[in-house]
Amino acid sequence: MTTVTTPGTTTPGTTLAQIAPGLVAGTWTIDPSHSHLGFSVRHLMVSKVRGEFTRFEGSIDIAEEISESRVAATVDVASVNTRDEARDQHLRTSDFFAVDDHPEMSYRSTGLDRRGNEWILAGDLTLRGVTRPVELTVEFNGVQQDPWGGTRTGFSAETRINRKDFGVDWNAPIDGGGVVVGDKVTLTLEIEAVLQQDDA
């Protein structure tokens, strides 16, 4: 990772053993079948609609000095699922995700830092061909051996973005004031990843 652009409390030389017991350096591949990429957005000013993306892939390259670790992920935006097919079809159109022209959403980390008791992952989120810096608050959930001889780790993460920053600006007014869709979108991630073994 590059140097974090915002101040934090991580000191150079911070090692895995100090802050993430059981986590080892190496490449960890995200397991989509045991991970979740969800979102929520305000609807009609009175409730929230929740959804998820069901197809995604990525890797987490853990370094001995934790601030040098890297994350990269790609999401098939057409896999959006809000449990309403008509709404999902609308989300795939140019009003929202424009999946025909921009089939993928991606995230590439640019820094990792500790602020108080929280880990902040900085990176670039690309959606609809627009790239903006986005920070995720990350929680390390531990390491466990699986029944198939592998080693797994888990992370929870959350952030909030303004969809208009990425050109997703469709809306419609409602009687009495307000709009159909809120601008702020909360993204929540539950990530399980598998340590890749060296074949050598």
Mapping DSSP onto H, E and C, the string for 84-117 reads CHHHHHHHHCCCCCCCCCCCEEEEEEEEEEEECC
**Below-50 pLDDT ranges, the chain:** 1-10, 200
Residue 189 lies in a domain: yes
pLDDT at 6: 35
Residue 127 lies in a domain: yes
pLDDT at 199: 56
Residue 19 lies in a domain: no
Residue 200 lies in a domain: no
Domain assignment of residue 151, given as a range: 27-195
pLDDT at 172: 80
Residue 91 lies in a domain: yes
Q: Write the CATH number for 35.
A: 2.40.128.110
Contact 88, 127 (CB under 8 A): no
Q: What is the pLDDT of residues 163-196, one digit of tens each?
A: 999 999 987 887 777 777 889 999 999 999 999 9
Residue 167 lies in a domain: yes
Quote the number of domains for the chain: 1
Residue 159 lies in a domain: yes
Residue 50 lies in a domain: yes
pLDDT at 1: 28
Residue 197: count of CB within 10 angstroms of its CB? 11
